[in-house]
Chain A
């Protein structure tokens, strides 16, 4: 279980505040008759970096997708940045503009250039002047180290580059919370590191992050809490040190032995 990220992590700004960013209370979700999420309770404070792990089909993605209501929960309460998610469309759009999301398959808009991908939402949702939006976009593209690709289309970039653009696109909205849904699962091994580096940098700046990932090295290096899910419920919640070296639940132990054997 070696940490294979050579980057030295600067922890000076990784501070967790007392303010609550996300509060989930007894959240339940069904797909038809299938009980997908069962009594989820989770409180995330500002600046926390949470990694969610678990076998496939355990509801990890569904859970974080409930936070910006890409999925609807049927029972319980989800409060994001002080706004409770209900069927009120105004609240949903408001939450979505404060919560960035990075997908497994990038989901960049293929008909727009990289720069246009990054300026679309700031211009049309935040109603920022075009010039300012372009400046912000270039700032974040520089941050993810691909400003030279700004005029290209997503189809002309490698997977790792596309995912970094997707991160930059979310950041251009200046979100308070970032959700990552298996951001490196669709990438070639060579490109995983460049995306993880970008995410680590983000964590160093104190961003509140929820990250569904199988990158346990990343979890150990960056997370201040690891959540383990199975069968739609939270099975274990622990700090990374104990989670990896001294897991409490049998299910977690089995899972860790499966993924860390190689």
Chain B
């Protein structure tokens, strides 16, 4: 081999070109995803056949469905032996499935509460919504309580006053150091709640008796109940879960031990036993004569349960963060809480979004377990509807309706989480 000159100099740079046809678009999708080889072609055709078969067998049942009838036998009469769904039961009983035995003249109250909830959620879920609306979000829980349970409007007002007292004391005492200020604020809020709140409520009620007709917890049911328990549990379990996750990673042995014990205990016990505890045992521990609302007890138990799971999900996110993030935050002089709030949590929560939403969805569906302690959730109501003479023997239609509504809520949560993940993605060019 003779010595060759290896030098090469490119005269002009090559411009970027289009990919060859068949490498993009529908054709590529079809070839690569559906008909790549014989096996994949076979699977594609088989799945198509199965899908068509399912659609063909279900569609007449859905298409021929009866919407106007007063009982199952009337339905069958109308159908005259043909296959068909009897959705008349939904038409007849949908209010019951949504509201339970809530007084029909008062239906506007839970409906209004639901609409207001959507408004309150808007600024939390979507940044373009004006930030000032967050004040409404903060006021919403009290408002919703008033609307749903009725009674004097001054009760939630005085509950907010407790927070206000705490916040004012916190603001005044910050100069004494953050630890002292927090203790003082908690103490004064507690003192206000125990000694002042009750009398203030009574006085205000007498001065200006603003009140709605009270509705007892026993009258509530259906999706109203599921949403009340689910939404409260969801919105409380996230912040509590964050605190617990931080507690579990704390360097203080006592805080750490308490957090670990709480998480392990709650996670190790089935939700249903906690619910039974709420409905039966709690009465033994409380002083006799205290009337502690059953829904409230259930909400507390569901929240505790969800909090333990949430804490572990968030701990996973925290563990996934590189140590360098903590170090950079510390090196800039941010203290523990500021570092957590501004640097660590936004990233840890972002990593945990799929897990968090998973827990949310699980929690929302678990609200149907309250059927076992005698609360009238949608499942319990479907049982009682089927127990009536008119609708005895009906199954699918009720469960499709209930399942459909649950799916609607859960699917929206899932879509929102995907939207959020996309929005928070910052490593794309």
Contacts and interface: CB of A to CB of B under 8 A. Distances in A.
Interface of A: 68, 70, 89, 93-94, 96-97, 99-101, 103, 105, 107-111, 120-121, 124-125, 153-156, 169-170, 173
Interface of B: 322, 324-325, 327-335, 338, 342-343, 346-347, 350, 424, 426-429
Contacts of B330: 68, 70, 96
A107 B324 contact: yes
Nearest to B332: A121
8 contacts: A70-B327, A96-B332, A99-B331, A101-B331, A120-B343, A121-B332, A125-B334, A155-B426
Nearest to B323: A107
Contacts of A70: 327, 330-331
A109 B343 contact: yes
A64 to B, nearest CB: 11
Nearest to A98: B333
List the 8 shortest-distance A-B pairs measured between CB atoms, nearest first.
A155-B427, A97-B333, A107-B328, A121-B332, A107-B324, A153-B426, A101-B331, A96-B333
A153 B332 contact: no
Given A103-B324, A111-B347, A173 B332 contact: yes
Listed residue (A103, A108, A109, A154) with the most chain B CB atoms within 10 angstroms of its CB: A109
Nearest to A126: B333
Listed residue (B329, B331, B424, B427) with the most chain A CB atoms within 10 angstroms of its CB: B331
A96 B329 CA distance: 10
Nearest to B349: A111
Contact of A111 (B322, B329, B350, B428): B350
Contacts of B424: 111
Given A96-B333, A124-B334, A111 B426 contact: yes
Contacts of A125: 332-334, 338
Contact of A110 (B333, B335, B426, B429): B426
Given A101-B331, A107-B328, 17 more contacts: A68-B330, A93-B333, A97-B333, A103-B331, A107-B322, A107-B324, A107-B325, A108-B328, A109-B343, A111-B347, A120-B332, A120-B343, A121-B333, A154-B426, A155-B426, A156-B428, A170-B332
A66 to B, nearest CB: 13
Contacts of A99: 331
Nearest to B347: A111
Contacts of B325: 107, 109
B327 A156 contact: no
B421 to A, nearest CB: 13
A169 B333 CA distance: 12
B346 A111 contact: yes
Given A103-B324, A107-B325, A109-B325, A169 B332 contact: yes
A96 B428 contact: no
B252 to A, nearest CB: 13
Nearest to A154: B426
Contacts of B342: 120, 124
A120 B344 CA distance: 13
A68 B331 contact: yes
A93 B337 CA distance: 12
A103 B427 contact: no
Given A111-B424, A156-B427, A103 B334 contact: no
Contacts of A97: 332-333
A121 B424 CA distance: 22
Nearest to A125: B333
Contacts of A156: 427-429
Nearest to A116: B342
Contacts of B428: 155-156
Nearest to B329: A109
Listed residue (A111, A125, A169, A170) with the most chain B CB atoms within 10 angstroms of its CB: A111
